[in-house]
């Protein structure tokens, strides 16, 4: 109905207009004399100098120009411009640091202000939009290049003055410990809830009248807010630990990893059990019939028919579970569980926003990674999906 030349892409135009407005109206980056001093925000032209600023604005306006009368070739041009915008972002920060923070200011820090964040955010939105208008298998070069250039600049020390990296530098050991703690708790949760969840699923399939009560209880857990569940587990666990030497030797207390793991498993069971029940129950009767007709034993039926067909749906349950557990592990820092949440709450307590970022950004990154990992696995195990 609509030929590629017929209409301008209003989505790209609006996103570009928004990006230009935010870049011109807000500060691009900020400079702090030290950790406690208030930051001084600098606009795009002051922060990057006129040449770099004009190049960024020029790229955005060209993007808008191409979006006025889009065609497949022009969409590929837009995609290339978006990749450039993404890849220049870390470089522009390195340039900003070189311009505004001298080598004689070892305490000074550079911060990202609204302009920088909105350029990053809107470029990613533009990428999502343009990517689905034209088939271009190289779209990942944008985010990939962004990460690569950032890594190279960090390695070369060009970004050392970035407030986030200054925070990291002063607690790098704690950072890796937090990562291990976070992953350990999430991994433990996934393992426990998978084992328990599959056992419950087996029970439900054998005794269908248990389905309603089991789901009732698991739904009930999901309703209870995490802070409340952590709090409710505190008293009973301290009591148990005080009266059991075995639990004491395992370092089980009212706070720490034990209540965190218990609560996380309680939350994780619903997605796991729901998805595996649905997946295992909804294998079509004809499929099972023909498998039986081939003379398969019960075990063969399970391992060669039911499980492979159910696996993608079970993996989807694990995806939800892992994202949920990564977020809740951060909350569990309040009850002393080790993880990135401890940076978030320490930073909030000290009013140190860069420390908050040092906790919040890796938490988000972990959640996005888990999402990508489990969606990828689900696609891989989709019947006929293996390429």
Partner 1 sequence: MSRRPSALRPWLAPLGWLLLLLAAVFWLGELEALFRALEPSARTLIYPRASFARLLLNHLAIVAAAALLAVSLGLAAGILVTRTWGRDFLPLVSQVAAIGQTFPPVAVLALAVPLLGFGSLPTVFALLLYGLLPVLRNTLAGLQGLPAEVLEAARGIGMAPLRVLLEVELPLAAPVILAGIRTTLTVTIATAAIGSTIGASTLGDPVIAGLVNGNSAYVLQGALLIGLLAISVDSGFDCLQRLITVR
Q: What is the C-alpha to C-alpha distance for residues 28 and 117, in angstroms, rounded to an integer? A: 8
Using CB under 8 A, which of the segments 46-54, 200-208, 226-234, 298-306 binds partner 1? 226-234
Which residue, 147 or 364, has its beta carbon nearer to partner 1?
364
Position 229 contacts partner 1 (CB under 8 A)? yes
Site string for partner 1, 231-260 (x = CB under 8 A): xx-xx--x---------------xx-----
Q: What is the C-alpha to C-alpha distance for residues 30 and 22, in angstroms, rounded to an integer? A: 15
| Shortest spacing between CB 372 and partner 1, in angstroms | 9
Q: What is the C-alpha to C-alpha distance for residues 340 and 26, in angstroms, rounded to an integer? A: 30
Q: What is the C-alpha to C-alpha distance for residues 52 and 108, in angstroms, rounded to an integer? A: 23
| Shortest spacing between CB 336 and partner 1, in angstroms | 8
Tokens matching residue 86: 């993404």
Contacts (Cβ under 8 Å, ≥6 apart) of 128: none
Q: What is the C-alpha to C-alpha distance for residues 265 and 256, in angstroms, rounded to an integer? A: 15
Which residue, 199 or 228, has its beta carbon nearer to partner 1?
228
Using CB under 8 A, which of the segments 6-14, 49-57, 243-251, 278-286 binds partner 1? 6-14
Using CB under 8 A, which of the segments 8-16, 93-101, 146-154, 292-300 binds partner 1? 8-16
- The single residue among 216, 225, 293, 295 that binds partner 1, judged by CB under 8 A, is 225
Position 223 contacts partner 1 (CB under 8 A)? yes
Contacts (Cβ under 8 Å, ≥6 apart) of 330: 182, 339, 340, 341, 344, 359, 363
Using CB under 8 A, which of the segments 46-54, 220-228, 245-253, 268-276 binds partner 1? 220-228
Using CB under 8 A, which of the segments 40-48, 153-161, 217-225, 242-250 binds partner 1? 217-225
- The single residue among 327, 373, 377, 382 that binds partner 1, judged by CB under 8 A, is 327
Q: What is the C-alpha to C-alpha distance for residues 387 and 380, in angstroms, rounded to an integer? A: 8
List binders of partner 1 among 344-383 (CB under 8 A): 344-345, 347-348, 353, 356-357, 359-361, 363-364, 367-368, 371
Which residue, 145 or 231, has its beta carbon nearer to partner 1?
231
Query: Minimal CA–CA distance to 182: which of 375, 376, 360, 346?
Result: 360
List binders of partner 1 among 116-145 (CB under 8 A): 125, 128-129, 132
Binding site for partner 1 (CB under 8 A): 9-11, 125, 128-129, 132, 220, 222-232, 234-235, 238, 254-255, 323, 326-328, 330-331, 334-335, 341, 344-345, 347-348, 353, 356-357, 359-361, 363-364, 367-368, 371
């Amino acid at each position: 109905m609509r030929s590629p030349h017929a209409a301008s892409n209003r989505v790209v135009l609006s996103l570009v207009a928004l990006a230009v407005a935010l870049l011109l109206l807000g500060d691009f980056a900020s400079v702090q004399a030290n950790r406690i001093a208030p930051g001084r925000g600098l606009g795009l032209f002051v922060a990057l100098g006129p040449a770099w600023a004009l190049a960024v604005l020029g790229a955005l306006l060209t993007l808008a120009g191409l979006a006025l009368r889009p065609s497949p070739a022009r969409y590929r041009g837009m995609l290339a411009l978006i990749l450039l915008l993404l890849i220049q972002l870390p470089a522009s920060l390195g340039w900003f640091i070189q311009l505004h923070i001298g080598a004689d200011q070892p305490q000074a820090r550079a911060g990202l202000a609204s302009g920088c964040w909105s350029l990053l955010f809107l470029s990613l939105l533009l990428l999502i939009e343009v990517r689905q208008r034209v088939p271009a298998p190289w779209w990942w070069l944008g985010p990939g290049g962004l990460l690569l250039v950032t890594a190279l600049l960090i390695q070369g020390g060009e970004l050392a003055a970035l407030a986030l990296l200054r925070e990291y530098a002063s607690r790098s050991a704690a950072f890796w410990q937090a990562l291990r703690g976070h992953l350990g708790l999430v991994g433990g949760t996934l393992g426990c809830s998978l084992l328990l969840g599959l056992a419950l699923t087996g029970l439900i399939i054998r005794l269908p009248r248990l389905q309603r009560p089991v789901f009732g209880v698991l739904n009930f857990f999901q309703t209870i807010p995490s802070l409340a569940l952590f709090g409710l587990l505190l008293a009973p666990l301290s009591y148990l630990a005080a009266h059991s030497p075995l639990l004491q030797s395992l370092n089980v207390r009212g706070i720490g990893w034990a209540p965190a793991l218990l609560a996380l498993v309680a939350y994780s069971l619903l997605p796991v059990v729901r998805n595996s029940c649905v997946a295992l129950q909804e294998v079509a009767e004809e499929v099972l019939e023909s498998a039986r007709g081939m003379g398969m034993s019960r075990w063969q039926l399970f391992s060669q028919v039911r499980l492979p067909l159910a696996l993608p749906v079970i993996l989807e349950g694990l995806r939800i579970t892992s994202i949920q557990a990564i977020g809740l592990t951060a909350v569990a820092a309040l009850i002393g569980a080790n993880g990135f949440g401890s940076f978030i709450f320490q930073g909030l307590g000290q009013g140190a926003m860069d420390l908050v970022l040092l906790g919040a950004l890796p938490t988000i990154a972990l959640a996005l990674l888990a999402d990508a990992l489990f969606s990828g696995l689900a696609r891989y195990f989709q019947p006929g999906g293996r390429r």
